[in-house]
């Protein structure tokens, strides 16, 4: 199993790599289009802003590579947001692999933005991504923008309003939270993605 971890300059590359190592997986951290196309699984982590990460992907010539992938793709945090058509964060065009616009989390009394910390996953539909993950399991979030609830939403989280926490459309998957920082819940979702029969 060849697993490519796209090097889009995210600060969490090392921790995602270590999380995969704990599962017995040695990913290839790469910005090489050929290596990404040759992988059996591709992970797109992202930290900072949608505009910065999309800018980095454009600089590296990886936008069309990611749009044309045959292998299953898992976007993590900002990497999940980039799967959508557009983000309000910088009004940036994203990869357009999933329908929808990523919007700023709405302010509400007692709700802190950015959303930082542990929050429960609410299952919205069945997906192998959530095999072995209990209803209400907690995951660790750090974000100010989020994807809407759509037919692709596998699990949602409530922070002032509901947003997509786990998504899947065929071979395209995403986790808004940081699985590498989400203990057993995150490890299980990573393992499910690696082992799923797409």
Q: What is the DSSP letter of 48?
A: S
Helix (H, G, I), strand (E, B) or coil at 54: helix
* Active-site pick, 89, 91, 180, 195: 180
pLDDT of residue 107: 87
DSSP state of 25: -
Catalytic site residue from 77, 89, 115, 159: 77
pLDDT (average), residues 44-66: 93
Mean of per-residue pLDDT scores for the chain: 95
Residue 156 predicted with pLDDT over 70: yes
Confidence of residue 8 (pLDDT cuts 50, 70, 90): confident
pLDDT tens digit sequence for 58-116: 999 999 999 999 999 999 999 999 999 999 999 999 999 999 999 999 988 889 999 99
Half-sphere exposure of 78 (CA within 13 A, CB side): 27
> Is residue 26 scored above 80 in pLDDT?
yes
- Answer with the residue of higher pLDDT: 10 or 158: 158
Half-sphere exposure of 74 (CA within 13 A, CB side): 30
pLDDT (average), residues 166-189: 96
Q: Give which of 87, 74, 196 is closest to 132, Cα–Cα.
A: 196
> What is the CB neighbour count within 10 angstroms for residue 102?
27
Q: Could you tell me if 8 and 79 are in contact, meaning their C-beta atoms sit under 8 angstroms apart? A: yes
pLDDT band at 11 (very low <50, low <70, confident <90, very high): low
Residue 77: asked if its preceding bond is cis (omega within 30°), the reply is: no
pLDDT higher than threshold 80 for residue 170: yes
Distance from chain centroid for Cα 190 = 11
Coil, helix or strand at residue 79 = helix
Q: Does 178 participate in catalysis according to the annotation? A: yes
Please indicate whether residue 77 is annotated as part of the active site.
Answer: yes
Distance of CA 91 to the CA centre of its chain: 19
Average pLDDT over residues 25-53: 94
Residue 47: predicted pLDDT: 79
Q: Which CATH architecture has domain 3-195?
A: 3-Layer(aba) Sandwich (3.40)
DSSP state of 144: S
Angle at CA of residue 106, ends 105 and 112, nearest 5°: 75
The answer to whether 72 touches 36, Cβ cutoff 8 Å, is no
9 pLDDT exceeds 80? no
The pLDDT value recorded for residue 159 is 96
Angstrom distance (rounded) from CA 74 to CA 82: 11
Angle at 165 between CA 37 and CA 94, to 5 degrees: 45
Q: Are 141 and 176 in contact (CB under 8 A)?
A: yes
As a whole number of Å, the CA-based R_g of the chain is 15
Which residue in the list 115, 143, 159, 178 is annotated as catalytic? Answer: 178
């Amino acid at each position: 199993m060849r697993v490519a971890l796209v090097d889009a300059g995210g600060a969490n590359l090392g921790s995602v790599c270590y999380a995969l190592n704990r599962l017995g997986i040695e990913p290839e951290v790469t910005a090489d289009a050929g290596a990404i196309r040759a992988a059996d699984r591709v992970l797109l982590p992202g930290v900072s802003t949608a505009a910065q990460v999309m800018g980095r992907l454009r600089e590296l010539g990886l936008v069309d590579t990611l749009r044309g992938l045959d292998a299953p793709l898992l976007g993590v945090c900002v990497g999940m947001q980039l799967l959508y058509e557009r983000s309000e964060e910088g009004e940036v065009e994203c990869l357009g692999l999933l329908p929808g616009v990523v919007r700023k989390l709405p302010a509400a009394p007692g709700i802190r933005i950015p959303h930082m910390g542990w929050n429960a996953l609410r299952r919205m539909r069945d997906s192998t991504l959530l095999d072995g993950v209990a209803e209400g399991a907690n995951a660790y979030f750090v974000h100010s923008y989020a994807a809407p609830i759509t037919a692709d939403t596998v699990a949602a989280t409530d922070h002032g309003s509901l947003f997509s926490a786990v998504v899947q459309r065929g071979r395209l998957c995403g986790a808004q939270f940081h699985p590498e920082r989400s203990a057993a819940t995150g490890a299980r979702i990573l393992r499910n993605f690696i082992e799923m029969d797409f």
